[in-house]
Structure 1
Amino acid sequence: MLKISDLNTYYGVIHALKGIKMEVDKGEIVSLIGSNGAGKTTLLNTIAGVTKASRGKVEFEGKDITNCPPYRMTKMNISISPEGREVFPELTVEENLRLGAYIVKEKETINAGYERVYKLFPRLKERYRQQAGTLSGGEQQMLAVGRALMPGPKLLLLDEPSLGLAPNFVEMIFDMIKEINKQGVTILLIEQNANMALSASDRAYVLENGVVTMNGDAKKIASDPKIKKAYLGLG
């Protein structure tokens, strides 16, 4: 479904991504783990067209989407839930969700989107008239993921969904990630919580200093001694 070939991205003279190669197949949850500054968010932003690639190719369902403007990604059934949630604090929960479906014109489709999100996240239904800025961090993360689901994406890009959340919300968010995947949405997960990411994923890639250093079955990567020591706090 998603294929990345020899992807290179620069920030000025800084070579942030160095020849990235990776694939995400339909129906998978694929995680990308790595330390701060490894290039995880840069990779996601390059896929989404927020950051321009200097060289290489990003393909989605066989179509070259390298450096496509971000607004076109939604029309191609790709959604992103960004790091830091980025909800609109003055707008209500429902208004935030409606913005996620800004390209959708059919009222029935929009209502189906609300129903889907509220079924996944009952707390949002309880607070649909509440301003997003008054929600807790965990509830804002639910809202960010729900907003990304509103247009009915085939591919969902999740950037650090557990960042800054209390443990109970982390568990809840990862349960929802697995449920969203069961509903037929393919997921690329960027996550610093390697333990949770690997346990939820089918396959994984390890990114270090802009280079993929390891990839394969998520459970095998989780059992690798180097990964245990560097990212899981074991060994």
Structure 2
Amino acid sequence: MLKIQGLNTHYGAIHALKGIDLEIHKGEVVSLIGSNGAGKSTLLSTVTGIQKASSGKVMLYDEDITNIAPYQLSKKKISISPEGREVFPDLTVLENLRIGAFSISNKGEIEKNYDRVFTLFPRLKERIKQQAGTLSGGEQQMLAVGRALMSSPELLFLDEPSLGLAPNIVLLIFDMIKEIQKQGVTILLVEQNANLALQTSNRAYVLENGLITMQGDAREIANNPKVKEAYLGIG
């Protein structure tokens, strides 16, 4: 579905991504794990056109979308729930969700997507008229994911969805990731919580200092001694 080939990204003289090769197959959850500063968010920024690639390719099916303009992502059935949630604090839950459907003109599809989001996150329906800035951190994360789903994506990027959340809310978010996959959405999960990410994923990549150092079946990655020591806290 998505194939990244030899992707390089620079911030001035800093070589942030160094020849990244990564592939996502339709229907999978693929995790990208790594420590702070490894290049995870840079990779997402480059794939989504926020940061310009120095070289390499990003292919969606057979189409080259390298350095795509971010506003064109939804037309390609790609959506992102960004790190830090970035909801519109002065707008209501409903208004935030409606913004997520900006590329859809079919009212029936929009209503269907509202139903989908409120089924996944009943708490959002309870707070439908509430300003997003008054929601808890967990509720804002639900809203960010829900907003991303409003564009009917086939490929969803989740950037650090567990960041700063209470443990019980983290578990809820990961349960919803599994449910979204069951609905036919392919997911790239960028996540520092390596344990939960690997439990939730089909395959995984480990990113260190701008390089992919390991890839494979998520269970095999989770059982790798180096990964256990570095990311799972198991010596």
| Aligned equivalent of 1:66 | 66
**Runs (4+) of structure 1 moved beyond 2 Å?**
none
RMSD between superposed Cα atoms in Å = 0.4
Aligned pairs for 1:1-235 (under 5 A) are: 1-235=1-235
Q: For residue 13 of structure 1, report the CA deviation from its aligned partner.
A: 0.6
- Partner Cα distance (1:2, 1:212) in 2: 16
- Partner Cα distance (2:151, 2:221) in 1: 33
Q: For residue 6 of structure 1, report the CA deviation from its aligned partner.
A: 0.1
Q: Name the aligned partner's letter for residue 45 of structure 1.
A: S
- Partner Cα distance (1:62, 1:168) in 2: 40
- Partner Cα distance (2:186, 2:119) in 1: 19
Q: For residue 17 of structure 1, report the CA deviation from its aligned partner.
A: 0.1
1:65-112, Cα deviation, whole Å (9 max, x unpaired) = 000100001110000000000000000000000000101111111111
TM-score, structure 2 normalization: 1.00
SS in 2 for 1:3: strand
SS in 2 for 1:49: coil
Identity, % of aligned pairs?
71
1:172-191, Cα deviation, whole Å (9 max, x unpaired) = 00000000000000000000
- Partner Cα distance (1:28, 1:3) in 2: 13
Residue segments in structure 1 that go unaligned for 5+ positions in a row: none
Q: Name the aligned partner's letter for residue 140 of structure 2.
A: Q
- Partner Cα distance (2:41, 2:98) in 1: 25
TM-score, structure 1 normalization: 1.00
SS in 1 for 2:161: coil
Residue segments in structure 2 that go unaligned for 5+ positions in a row: none
SS in 1 for 2:214: strand
SS in 1 for 2:73: helix
Q: Name the aligned partner's letter for residue 137 of structure 1.
A: G
